[in-house]
Structure 1
Amino acid sequence: MPSSPASAAAPKQTVSGWWLLGIAMALVAVLSSSVRPILIKLSYGLGAEPVTLLALRMVFSLPFFLAAALWSRRDAARTPISARDWALLAGLGVVGHYAASFLDFLGLQYVSAGVGRLLLFLYPTVVVLLSWAFLRKRIGPREIGALLLTYAGVAMVVSRGLAGANADLPLGAALVFGSAVCYAVYLVAGSQVIRRVGSVRFTAYATMVACFACIAQFAAVRPLSALDLPLEVYGLAFAMAALCTVLPIFLTAEALRRIGANHVALLGALGPVSAIGLGWLGLEEVLTGVQVLGAVLVLAGVMLVTVGRPAARPR
């Protein structure tokens, strides 16, 4: 996000203060995102189901992104968005926010919050594979080793389900991994659009498309009586929207501007760890020793493939 005129006019803040504030923003974004699967699982326990819960989350998120879209239009010098970019924005909003969120919500019916967050964290490895397949970016020995390490860890994480302890775990893992793939497609395909329209406009408009898609899905497949839910579900849905959707999106954007993609990626590794810890504290979730080892391999592989890569210069 661009700095305000006031901050630009008073650059008295030290470099270390600028940096530390970026670190703090990235940490808050990671921790707030980690709470989301916990809130989803709690909502399911109160009688909510994925289609309705996702619609409620997007209804509460929509005003925030609408305000961001209006704010981004204040600069009259901005380049108008072409018809082609509008189409790309809509398509990427459907894939990267609607489909990714829906698959994540579905998968969390079958896997723990910690495992779900860990599998969602695979998206950087998918970005590497998609960039190799479609953008002709070379995969070196480091990336190959990281991929092998990561997916060996995934196999260990889902081994409990394959052994029969949780027969639905492979299904849930596949759904959450599908969410990671959708988000990776969004990042790879959206990188070129962002350069033309700007990160704030891109995020606001693409997410608004996803909000309308989720609301339309609810209207098409659920009766209004599906909204007859405990008040606690509405509170959880609002928290998911404000604290676990809107806040991390914009905090991450500003953290990228201040500390760069590599450091944001490094701090992002705390996401699965904090989700596992919160699941253990709030939902009494447990991982076997083999799954813990698998989680360590996944985190190590993702860090190997992200940290140290050239950081994209944020707009």
Structure 2
Amino acid sequence: MIQSFFIWQKCWLYIRSTLQPAHQQQKKDRVALYGVLMVLLSAVLFSGKAVLAKLVYCQSTMSVSELLVLRMLFSLPFYAAMLLMQWQQHKRNTTHQPFMQRSHVLPTILLGLLGYYISSFFDFWGLKHISAGLERVILFSYPTMVVLFGAWFFKEKIQRHQVLALLLSYAGIAIAFAADFEQPQSGNVWIGAAFIVGCAITFSLYVLFSGKLVPQVGVSKFTAVAMLSATTAIFLHYFVMGGGVQQLLSFSPQVYGYMLLMAVFTTVVPSLLVSAGLKRVGSSNVAIISSVGPIVTIFQAWYFLGEPFGWQQAIGTVLVVAGVLWVSKKTTQQSKAD
């Protein structure tokens, strides 16, 4: 009887040891799937920001500073509540670890300023001059910039496939850029494009370095601190430049409705989703999944704003997306091989 028990115990231990790797792999697959869905939804939501901004510009005389202040003002309660929840959870914890490591505070603040203060100003200044569709096509060059900046900062050799991806992406931008000159514009296309390129550069640096920091700080804590830092900088910028409260109260209810949508559904929710996605799938896979962004924005701009969508925009978008997919695929293959 005892001997039979030990035989069955050995059989069970063997079966469990055999099934455990498969179970762990299934768990990893689920985590990766959740990450993919998070990044996909964040890309779709982020894509609506340009369309909402164009609607606000069309229906008001709102300046870039006023737009950013209202956007962050509506977002502020969510990020403040998020940080408060993190603080309360930390107080309930029995460990004596600090709420946030001192070495993480300054980098998180600087990344918030880079990704949601400087980058946002470049983005909304650019949207004053160019179409929402072109803005998204140019801005979507940031994944190739992530790879190049990664090679620069982390001393990795630039590969041949990265050069090919750059050629594809910027050829697509040039085609879409040329198409915009054939359409009536509310501003200077060159100036608008330059601002969006600046936005792409600063946002690519944000993605590159936040991808390293988020796993150490935590998704909610990093997002809340980064966004509150950017909010503080935007408020200071507005009031130092002579802005007043009265100006912020002078717009129509419809404009405030657009701003609320922009704050919640194209700022708060996607910023959380992309941070969570970076933690689960990494920056290279985020670049792959985010390839839906330009397509969604161009469709939304055609549907809501009446912006044209011709063969040049289609070819430009396909080339940019192909460049990003190519460099991201190769990067992922290399990381797996390593």
Distance, in Å, in 1 between the alignment partners of 2:278 and 2:216 is 18
Q: Name the CA shift for 1:162/1:233 in 2 (closer, same or farther; >3 Å).
A: closer
Larger C-alpha radius of gyration, 1 or 2?
2
> Is the 2:141–2:324 contact (alpha carbons within 8 Å) kept by the matching residues of 1?
yes
How far is the alpha carbon of 1:175 from its aligned partner? 0.6
| Equivalent in 59, 65, 76 of residue 46 of structure 1 | 59
> Is the 1:265–1:307 contact (alpha carbons within 8 Å) kept by the matching residues of 2?
no
Matching of residue 177 in structure 1 with residue 197 in structure 2: yes
Root mean square deviation, CA, Å: 2.7
| Equivalent in 265, 268, 277 of residue 287 of structure 2 | 265
Partner of 1:115: 134
Q: Name the CA shift for 1:211/1:140 in 2 (closer, same or farther; >3 Å).
A: same
Distance, in Å, in 2 between the alignment partners of 1:188 and 1:252 is 13
Partner of 1:3: none
Please, which moves more after superposition, 59-68 or 84-93? 84-93
Deviations 1:17-71 (A, max 9, x none): 7766555433332221111111111111121221101100001111111222222
The amino acid that maps onto 1:180 is A
How far is the alpha carbon of 1:252 from its aligned partner? 2.9
Q: Percent identity?
A: 32
Partner of 2:3: none
Distance, in Å, in 1 between the alignment partners of 2:293 and 2:108 is 27
Partner of 2:329: 307
The amino acid that maps onto 1:31 is V
Please, which moves more after superposition, 283-292 or 57-66? 283-292
Q: Name the CA shift for 1:296/1:132 in 2 (closer, same or farther; >3 Å).
A: same
| Equivalent in 217, 226, 229 of residue 206 of structure 1 | 226
Q: Name the CA shift for 1:201/1:174 in 2 (closer, same or farther; >3 Å).
A: same
Deviations 1:245-265 (A, max 9, x none): 111122233445566655543
> Is the 1:142–1:304 contact (alpha carbons within 8 Å) kept by the matching residues of 2?
yes
Distance, in Å, in 1 between the alignment partners of 2:216 and 2:32 is 27
How far is the alpha carbon of 1:188 from its aligned partner? 2.5
How far is the alpha carbon of 1:83 from its aligned partner? 4.2
Q: Name the CA shift for 1:223/1:79 in 2 (closer, same or farther; >3 Å).
A: closer
> Is the 1:162–1:170 contact (alpha carbons within 8 Å) kept by the matching residues of 2?
no
The amino acid that maps onto 1:286 is P
| Equivalent in 126, 137, 152 of residue 171 of structure 2 | 152
Matching of residue 240 in structure 1 with residue 268 in structure 2: no
Higher helix share: 2
How far is the alpha carbon of 1:203 from its aligned partner? 1.7
Matching of residue 58 in structure 1 with residue 72 in structure 2: yes
Normalised to the residue count of structure 2, the TM-score between the two structures is 0.79
Unaligned stretches of 5+ in structure 1?
Answer: 1-10
Q: Name the CA shift for 1:144/1:45 in 2 (closer, same or farther; >3 Å).
A: same
> Is the 2:126–2:195 contact (alpha carbons within 8 Å) kept by the matching residues of 1?
yes
> Is the 1:89–1:205 contact (alpha carbons within 8 Å) kept by the matching residues of 2?
yes
Q: How many equivalent residue pairs?
A: 300
SS at match of 2:210: helix
Distance, in Å, in 2 between the alignment partners of 1:274 and 1:306 is 20
How far is the alpha carbon of 1:85 from its aligned partner? 3.0
Partner of 2:245: 224
Q: Name the CA shift for 1:254/1:85 in 2 (closer, same or farther; >3 Å).
A: closer
